[in-house]
Amino acid sequence: MDDRQFRNAMGKFATGVTVIATETDGQVHGMTANAFMSVSLDPKLIVISVKEDAKMLHKIKESNHFSVNVLSCEQQEESMIFAGQKQPEEEFQFDYLEGVPVVRNALVQLSCEIYNEHVEGDHTLFVGRVTEMELKDGDPLIFNCGKYRELKEMESVSN
């Protein structure tokens, strides 16, 4: 079982795409992430997974807060910018929710504070307690097998 094969296997699991954002010393830092999951309703908890060499790791630890922004199908560019795949043409403007930077026009904006963290292998899992959220209508951006995709409705199945 080599690394490439493991990545290919994990990439077959289709996900949405988020941008994680945090602020330290007045500087906002964003990072594209699809390792995101809802954890608990009471209290409202989510989890994200950040690799050990990501700049984001220490920034989240320092600020104790981060946002998770679920991207819409019109935000592939934002995903590419915060994955280091594309340079923004102009300075990227963030909005704020409960004092935490959030991505404008994301389908969901969650502001979170660190509730717990676990180092697991070469990633750190941050469990975040959701302190506020905003929702919008629209379709999500999808990531599968290393490619961005859009949702397509399938014929409904009647039993």
Q: Name 96's bridge partners.
A: 101
- Give the nearest distance from C-beta 156 to ligand FAD in angstroms: 29
Nearer to ligand FAD, 17 or 112 (CB): 17
Instruction: Please give the residue ranges that form the binding site for ligand FAD (CB under 6 A).
Output: 17, 28-35, 49-51, 54-56, 79, 81-84, 88, 92, 143
- Give the nearest distance from C-beta 157 to ligand FAD in angstroms: 30
Return the DSSP state at 140.
B
- Give the nearest distance from C-beta 98 to ligand FAD in angstroms: 18
Nearer to ligand FAD, 30 or 128 (CB): 30
User: E strand or H helix at 128, and its extent?
Assistant: strand 123-135
Those residues with Cβ within 8 angstroms of residue 46's Cβ, 6 or more apart along the chain or in another chain: 36, 37, 38, 39, 68, 110, 112, 127, 128, 130
Return the DSSP state at 82.
T
Q: What token pair was written down for 8?
A: 């290919």
Nearer to ligand FAD, 123 or 154 (CB): 123
Nearer to ligand FAD, 90 or 155 (CB): 90
What CA–CA distances, in Å, run from 123 to 38, 47, 114, 129?
A: 18, 12, 16, 19
- Give the nearest distance from C-beta 129 to ligand FAD in angstroms: 19
